[in-house]
Amino acid sequence: MEELNPPQSATAEHELSNGISKLTLKEQKKLKRTPEPKLKPLQRSLELDPDAGNFLLPHDERYDNLDRLSESYRDILEGVGENPEREGLLDTPKRAARALLYFTKGYEEDASEIMRSALFDENHDDMVIVKDINIFSLCEHHLVPFYGTCSIGYLPNKKVVGISKLARVVETFSRRLQVQERLTKQIAHAITEALEPSGVGVIVKCTHMCMVMRGVEKPGSSTITSVMLGEFRNNPKSREEFLNLIKN
Ligand SMILES: [Zn+2]
């Protein structure tokens, strides 16, 4: 993700500064106040790339960063106006750093590997559904949690996977910095890649604390994203069966 981000945002900023120089002072001021619209299309296409944020880092390599991460949390404490030396906060930087590494442990896990470890040849072609798998993730825009559930359905095409592996794949992708749309896609893509099923449906329903806590959304409201592939996209009957089964 770090490799992807700088060139993209650098280009966008370049375009933005070029644009400003041609505008009147009044327009410049207006643009400076609201630069987001110019950046959005680029950021959006990056967010929705199913491969963004999809890389692996060894466990040891991540924990080598612990000291640097703790230092950063110390800066954050000072940044919000706190005193990192007061008793209650003395161990907070290290504790928070460890917690963050745990919350993002999905970077240590390979979803394709997890799927491959429990593939079976089966002459089973009825719909397989796992519903309400818990999700705890971090929104990559605010580094604030979003949480909820994921339901998965697929129509096997000679291959099936151990049910628990579907939950593991959800866990792997959600324990990374995420946007809900991409998370949903990545789960669907991992299943498609490993099982080559006739159809896949993934529905994710989450509450975003960055919205709720800032009052953008009412507490209790949730965001639903879905990806339907193959039979689930093309055949209304299969899609309806899936939607009915996850409802009850
Ligand atoms: Zn957010």
What does the chain come to in residues? 248
Q: Cα of 180 to ligand 1 centre, how many Å?
A: 10
Reduced 3-state DSSP string for the chain: CCCCHHHHHHHHHHHHHHHHHCCCHHHHHHHHHCCHHHHHHHHHHHHCCCCCCCCCCCHHHHHCCHHHHHHHHHHHHHHCCCCCCCHHHCCHHHHHHHHHHHHCHHHHCCHHHHHHCCEEECCCCCCEEEEEEEEEEEECCCCCEEEEEEEEEEECCCEEECHHHHHHHHHHHHCCEECHHHHHHHHHHHHHHHHCCCEEEEEEEEEEHHHHCCCCCCCCCCEEEEEEEEHHHHCHHHHHHHHHHHHC
Q: Cα of 209 to ligand 1 centre, how many Å?
A: 7
- Residues of the chain whose pLDDT is less than 50? 1-23, 32-46
Q: Cα of 126 to ligand 1 centre, how many Å?
A: 38
pLDDT at 239 (0 to 100): 94
Q: Cα of 221 to ligand 1 centre, how many Å?
A: 15
Percentage of residues of the chain with pLDDT beyond 70: 79
Name which of 172, 225, 216, 217 is nearest 194 in CA terms.
Answer: 172
Report whether 118 contacts 195 (CB < 8 A): no
Condensed to tens digits (0 to 9), the pLDDT of residues 158-176 reads: 999 999 999 999 999 999 9
Q: Cα of 146 to ligand 1 centre, how many Å?
A: 8
Q: Cα of 149 to ligand 1 centre, how many Å?
A: 17
pLDDT at 106 (0 to 100): 97
Q: Which two tokens stand for residue 223?
A: 């965001």
pLDDT at 183 (0 to 100): 96
Q: Cα of 140 to ligand 1 centre, how many Å?
A: 6
Condensed to tens digits (0 to 9), the pLDDT of residues 194-205 reads: 999 999 999 999
Q: Which residues contact 136 (CB under 8 A, 6 or more apart)?
A: 103, 145, 147, 174, 175
Q: Cα of 34 to ligand 1 centre, how many Å?
A: 18
pLDDT at 12 (0 to 100): 35
Q: Cα of 153 to ligand 1 centre, how many Å?
A: 27
Q: Cα of 110 to ligand 1 centre, how many Å?
A: 25
Q: Cα of 118 to ligand 1 centre, how many Å?
A: 34
